[in-house]
Amino acid sequence: MSNATAPSAIDTAHLRTAIQIANESVAAGNHPFGAVLADPDGTVVLSAQNSVVTERDVTCHAETNLVRLAMRKYGPDQLASFTLYTSCEPCAMCAGAIYWSGIGRVVFALGETTLYELTGINPDNPTLAVPSRVVFGGGQRSTEVVGPALEDEAAVAHESFWR
């Protein structure tokens, strides 16, 4: 696992797309989370939003929804060279799904601790506070992680949603 210090211009553009999808998720009646998957050329090939409320399924986070779609369309060898962009740092469940799919790189906007501050969850005693880097770091293959980036932009949907 590695931690690149700054996102590229392509990363920033795709993060903004994921943030827009998070806003669309709220408009659809769900929580403010969105994700996109890009191939090695930087082309977005899939997108997904959170659907926990409308699907009545707590596992329907944007990232797990995207992983399900990706696994139906691409093999692990292909996914190793893809990048998943997400509006918020993947939770432990999502990071696990990303890891098992074989996606090789993750770029996120809003960090987990900032999300906790916005939602009012106590970061000193949450129920499942496991940073994505910890989950990915426990694996046998490397997953590159970049983030947080664009936190101010990503926070907007959360500031209005959780209050």
63, 89, 144, 151: which one is catalytic?
63
Pick from 87, 133, 91, 93: which is nearest to 112 by CA?
Answer: 91
| Six-digit token string for 14 | 């795709």
63 is catalytic: yes
Find the largest Cα–Cα distance for the chain.
42
Query: What sign has the CA pseudo-torsion 152, 154, 160, 161?
Result: negative
- Taking each helix axis from N to C end, the angle separating 92-101 and 62-73, rounded to the nearest 10 degrees, works out to 10
Q: Which residues are catalytic?
A: 63
